[in-house]
Amino acid sequence: MALSILERIGHTPLLNINSLNKELGSVKLFAKAEWFNPGGSVKDRAGLWMIEDAERRGILHKNKIILESSSGNTGVALAMIGAEKGYQVELVVPENIHEAKRKKMEYYGAKLILIPAIDGSDGAFFVAQRMYEENPEAYFLIDQYNNPANPQAHYETTGKEILEQTDFRVTHFVAGTGTSGTLMGTGKRLKEHNPNTQIIGVQPKESLHGIEGLKNMACSMVPGNYNDSFPDRKIFVPTESAYEMQKFLLAEEGLIVGTSAAAASWAALELAKGLRDAVIVTIFPDGYGE
């Protein structure tokens, strides 16, 4: 029995992607189904860790408003956790975010500050930064792009779970690059166990793309948590290929996943074609096409 919804964060299942594995021979491909988190995405992990880290350090208390920029999932996570813990939450979001995510944030009681869609996640970041600088006594700025508690959440939870769920046999980890918390934190934990584990970062191929939550680092604001030399390899995914994989996973697996999960699947499949006797794990950050 869970005493709080927050106790349900993490310990997500590892899925065998049968329709892809049947073509891969001795290579096995698995995906962490992060929509099983109560807020519906992998961002629940980092959201909880960043808030509780700030509480432990005494820089977040009930007189502070939690402030952050988000393109969707982090906003939902912070709104949910803030509601459970009794915090006010204000979120700066592009006006074209997924409608379901916007409604979730509002249902949890968060105040939304909408910015033009063309400004994107980078624009939202700068607006949140300005709001904090203008009134630092009122706000606690999460700053997921630069907050070390973001990758630490995945070092402590996601990486540990993957090792246990694969019986410590994982050889390759494939993750999208957005804030880079999942990639950096999970990758660090896996490499500490086995330095030969390969860490693969997934980025959109185009500068203007349709893969929500991912960044082409060459033409975006680079998160402070990201180290470009850390991934052993980078795979760049065309938006159209992500859309096609999204349709494939629905038709063949009954999985309604977001474009970032589809991009990670496409990248993992491309990687697998050149491997033998490998265990590849990727992340499905959210589900239901959000």
Tokens of 39: 């807020």
**Alpha-carbon dihedral sign for residues 272, 277, 282, 284:** positive
Q: What is the dihedral of CA 185, 271, 34, 122, to 10 degrees?
A: 60
Q: With contact defined as beta carbons under 8 Å apart, do 284 and 270 qualify?
A: no
List the catalytic residues.
Answer: 43, 260
What are phi and psi for residue 114, nearest 5 degrees?
Answer: -90, 140
- Cα–Cα distances in angstroms (integers) from residue 115 to residues 7, 93, 154, 281, 286, in the given order: 33, 6, 30, 35, 23
Integer-rounded Cα Rg, in Å, for the chain is 18
d(CA 153, CA 132): 24
Which of 290, 280, 247 lies closest to 25 in space, CA to CA? 280
